[in-house]
Homo-oligomer: A and B are copies of this chain.
Amino acid sequence: VSRRPIRSIALGTGPEFDLIRRFLDGAGALPPGVTVGPGDDCAVVEGAALAVSTDLSVEDVHFRRAWLAPEEIGYRAAAAALSDLAAVAARPVGVLVSLAAPAADAADYAVRVMDGVHEAAQAADAALIGGDVAASPHGLVLDVTVVGEAPQPVLRSGARPGDELWVSGALGGAAAAVHAWMAGAEPPPAARKAFARPRPRTREAQWLAARGVLHAMLDLSDGLAGDAGHLAAASGVRIILFPDAIPVHPAVPDVLGGTEGALRLALGGGEDYELCFTAPPGVVAPLAHEFETEFGTPLTRVGRVVEGAGLAIRSPDGATEPLDTAGFSHFRGEGP
């Protein structure tokens, strides 16, 4: 695949443009489809259908500087945005970053943040194609816009009664890290990594989409309980979760000192950026082993789709009871 060099457009003079030049230093080549890269008023991307999404990262709301290196702040912000492309099974192409930074950060710190953005973008075969910079009177704000090719986007509205509900990976790791930090402790490395270096499941989503098994999909940014609720609302169906099946991240009991509350953190903790999707009965299980071999992460069936509305949980005796997702909002509101 031919990739043309980035920075084909010369920038004018001034400190803002000197900073932008430094931001672009870490960028690789432009992916195919990008006909105008950074430096002009717009980037231009060719493709039959393009998916676009934006994701905000605000200091002391989404992250704290004391918790993360600047490269991790940038990586995480870009990974969270790229995860929205995974959620519709799009192929990532470009990333635009708007960065508001205090004047004191406008040299090395901001450049290190952008190095993290480049790392996340390149890991997804995307590149920085634009953005904006501004002074911030208080704290860092990153807004990452992602552009991907999505000729057949998988929406959250396609779930049908009878579908199975699946998730990739393990849940609650990022929330476990926040839980540890909020308690004044250093999180275990696996939990810290889940928070600081989430891996957007862009290839995994395209792999599943290519096999034609997906009815509906989203990425887990608000926690399984919240996001399954969004999927149910968008699809006009009811979702029943199987609590015993939920793949709890091993760092969760580590941080909590036991299994008590682990399920609540796995259900309510956000920002795992795993895939959550529905598929017709029986079609995913035969693919799960190959998926795990290919991507090093499991697929787990965690629920089913029925007629109705809202979210329910299957209790140990097999009965179902409504799940009040508001009960988990203190996790979402917990950190940082």
Residues on A facing B (Cβ under 8 Å): 9-14, 17, 35-36, 39-56, 58-62, 84-85, 87-88, 90, 94, 96-100, 129-139, 141, 143, 145-148, 150, 153, 155-157, 218-219, 226, 229-230, 232-234, 236, 325-326, 329
Contacts and interface: CB of A to CB of B under 8 A. Distances in A.
Given A56-B143, A134-B58, A44 B157 contact: no
A54 B131 contact: yes
7 contacts: A9-B155, A10-B234, A42-B146, A55-B132, A61-B137, A136-B141, A145-B145
Contact of A40 (B45, B141, B234, B325): B234
A42 B51 contact: yes
Contacts of A230: 11-12, 17
Contacts of A153: 35-36, 40, 42, 44
B229 A13 contact: yes
B155 A36 contact: yes
Nearest 4 A-B pairs (CB), nearest first?
A: A138-B138, A41-B87, A143-B143, A42-B51
B53 A50 contact: no
Contacts of A134: 56, 58, 61-62
B132 A143 contact: yes
Nearest to A216: B40
Q: Of A94, A132, A136, A229, which is in contact with the most chain B CB atoms at under 10 Å from its CB?
A: A132
Contacts of A41: 53, 84-85, 87-88, 156, 218-219
A44 B157 CA distance: 14
Contacts of A54: 54, 96-98, 130-132, 143, 145
Contacts of A148: 42
Contacts of A55: 98, 132
A111 to B, nearest CB: 18
Given A41-B84, A61-B100, 13 more contacts: A11-B233, A13-B326, A14-B226, A35-B49, A36-B51, A40-B87, A41-B87, A52-B94, A56-B134, A58-B100, A61-B136, A100-B141, A141-B143
